[in-house]
Amino acid sequence: MKHATFLFGILALWSALSVIAEDRYQFFTWEVTEGTIFPLGVPQQGILINGQFPGPAIEAITNDNIVVNVINKLNEAFLITWSGIKQRRTSWQDGVSGTNCPIPPNTNWTYKFQVKDQIGTYTYFASTKIHKAGGAFGALNVAQRSVIDTPYLTPAGEFTLLIGDWFKNDHKVLRRILDAGKGLPFPDALLINGKKDAVVFTGEAGKTYKFRVSNVGLATSINFRIQGHSLTLIEIEGAHTLQEVYESFDIHVGQSATFLVTLKGSPSDYYIVASTRFTEPIVLTTTATLRYSGSNKKASGPLPIGPTTDVEWSIKQARTIRLNLTANAARPNPQGSFHYGTIPILRKIRLENSKSTINGKLRYAVNGISHINPNTALKLADWFNIPGVFDFTTIKDFPLHAGIPAKLGTSVFAITLHDFVEIVFQNNENSIQSWHMDGSSFYVVGYGNGAWTEDKRQLYNLVDGITRYTTQVYPNSWTAILVSLDNKGMWNLRSAIWERRYLGQEVYLRVWNNEQSLYTETNIPENALFCGKAKHLHRS
């Protein structure tokens, strides 16, 4: 009897500890509506989340469980994607057309995901149509657990800056332009947290603050700087970096960077500046204010000078962004414990973007295929073996020969789970590109001018290349990444430049093996939406 009582006590204690040890849950209810906003001082229609533009921020801690009930009050279907969140084992929650059926008007759907083993600066935004242009975006910050050391002293506070281009036309007008086979006009402004020249961040002299900066725009690379202050880079999209110091820093579409800024100046106001890159002269500039507590002196003097069209300047800066090999990330093991440069490459893919005219309308293509999303979500078609939705022969691993016209198709690559893959993005156009991968972070190992060739591998950084989820590809240049595709699911690899993505510059990576195990992939969610050829099916 004593033994039984003792055993019962041990089991009760273990059960209690299990409950205590369970990772935190955060619950949100978001109502998505149209409303009038005034980012440029005049009224225009925007998309609001709980009445806010930008949407409410999510402040999470590593391993938090996030539950977001999205109530769609728009008159068209809607989805949100969680940019940079890996969705370990559950691409069902990724929130793009290939993995989720959109939420119909006047209904709701609940996302449930964990920010498993992640830290850093991320964002969320609408992935449907061109809703992002209406303001349907927000911050998603993931803080380190207290038991894991950071490679810098705890700052006195932190500020989140969502910087992006903006159009006077609302998202429906912009969509009609694209649907008519035309390109978008040049943006009308840059905004910081939904405002132009209006946001104020206040700190105390002598203290150091964390600045989380994301480019949430549709098309425009920006340069970020603070008058009279230097930027110490500490993190790029979930990876701690070597702490290089910059006077200004390029952040391309879809990218995020985190800096430490020490308030070493005299008590005053200082300009925070974002301006367009690769334009001559600088076409658009916006400012915010860094205010020292007690300041009664407005920011003055010329704005700090930013770079314009100098691509080599940007490439050289990009090469200085290196992984801090000795720092912990979200887990206690050093970031450099994964020796990516010694792993054999099992699959080599080259993706070449192009601009085309198909059926008399503007389209963008990858390896000669301009992607179209079928009515049936690709993930559903894969899970239920529904024929006629996609195949693995539409797109090839390498670009087509010159002169072969691009065509419409649904682009899906078949990747074996755990394959270590080299992807080279080849850009033969005169504009900068930006590529984003869902489901995984990748190592950026090389940038170069002209056409990529086999001997370029000798230039790769195989030791401390930064891991991130969005990379730029400079005009008439290439960028190479290495990635371990160890997250089973259907994953979107897309242009972060929205016009290009909307008109076909994206593909999907179907990462798969034939093992049915909850250790590699969860079952279809109980609340999954069904559409297209899967509409009549049931969960299994």
pLDDT in tens, 255-270: 999 999 999 999 999 9
pLDDT of 357 over the 50 cut:
yes
Tokens of 293: 């507590």
* pLDDT > 70? residue 18: no
DSSP character at residue 393:
S
Domains, in order of start, for the chain = 21-149 (2.60.40.420), 150-327 (2.60.40.420), 340-534 (2.60.40.420)
pLDDT confidence band for 22 (50 / 70 / 90) = confident
pLDDT at 384: 96
Averaged pLDDT, 493-518: 97
Q: Are 397 and 350 in contact (CB under 8 A)?
A: yes
CA distance 254 to 221: 9
DSSP 108: E
Task: Give the whole-angstrom CA distance, residue 239 versus residue 61.
Answer: 15
**Both tokens assigned to 12:** 């009760």
Which among 511, 462, 508 is positioned nearest to 484, based on CA atoms?
511
- The type of residue at 143 is A
Residue 10 reports pLDDT greater than 60: no
Residue 14, pLDDT score: 37
Q: Note whether 189 and 284 are within 8 A (CB).
A: yes
Other CB atoms within 10 A of residue 524 CB = 18
Query: What is the average per-residue pLDDT within 491-502?
Result: 98
Backbone angles phi, psi at 502, to 5 degrees: -60, -35
Question: How much is the pLDDT for 538?
Answer: 67
- Tell how many helices (H) and how many strands (E) occur in the chain: 5, 33
pTM: 0.94
pLDDT of residue 539: 55
Report the alpha-carbon distance of residue 343 to residue 441 in Å, rounded.
Answer: 16
pLDDT class for 5, splitting at 50, 70, 90? very low
**Residue among 218, 130, 219 at smallest CA distance from 177:** 130
The β-bridge relationship of strands 506-512 and 200-203 is: unpaired
pLDDT at 194 over 70: yes
Determine if the peptide bond prior to 187 is cis (ω within 30°).
no
Residue 12 pLDDT > 50: no
Contact between 86 and 487 (Cβ < 8 Å): yes
Q: What is the pLDDT of residue 21?
A: 54
pLDDT digits (tens, 9 = 90+) for 78-130: 999 999 999 999 999 999 999 999 999 999 999 999 999 999 999 999 999 99
Distances (CA, A) of 29 to 69, 268, 353, 478: 5, 40, 38, 42
Structure tokens at 410: 């649904």
pLDDT at 332 over 50: yes
How big is the chain by its Cα radius of gyration, in Å? 23
Q: Which two tokens stand for residue 242?
A: 């070597």
Q: In 10 A of CB 189, how many CB atoms? A: 17
pLDDT grade for 1, boundaries at 50, 70 and 90: very low
Q: What is the mean pLDDT of the chain?
A: 95
By percentage, how much of the chain surpasses pLDDT 90?
A: 93
Is the pLDDT at 3 greater than 50? The verdict is: no
pLDDT band at 15 (very low <50, low <70, confident <90, very high): very low
Between CA 91 and CA 77 the distance in angstroms is 19
pLDDT digits (tens, 9 = 90+) for 284-325: 999 999 999 999 999 999 999 999 999 999 999 999 999 999
